[in-house]
Amino acid sequence: GVMKQFTTYTAIRQRAQLLGLPLLFFAVQLIAVIVSLLLMIFSFGVGLILGLFLLNVGLYVGLLQYQQGKLHFSLGTVFPRELSNQHIRLGHEKT
């Protein structure tokens, strides 16, 4: 008979993902959806529903972009790029 061929699973070290997001980002998205549903239930309005939908879609797209490395938030660096023991002299200082 003909033997079945199986492909090797090479992405074994890749982190677990749900809907393309790591578990932490998926949890953030899920919490946002639950809060949005609660807001829709207790204060019904067409504008609110549309706004919350757009907010959730924007959050999902933003988290996907951040996870793929296309979006980067930086509040500044804590350390300089290079560390050195050399004394830094300004142009007007005498040696």
pLDDT tens readout for residues 29-62: 999 999 999 988 888 788 888 999 999 999 999 9
What single DSSP character describes residue 9?
Answer: -
- Helix, coil or strand: residue 20: coil
Q: What's the pLDDT tens digit per position in 72-89?
A: 666 666 666 777 777 766
CA distance 1 to 42: 63
Q: Which residues contact 28 (CB under 8 A, 6 or more apart)?
A: 59, 63
Residue 3 has pLDDT above 90, yes or no: no
pLDDT value, residue 56: 93
pTM: 0.57
For residue 29, the cross-strand partners are none
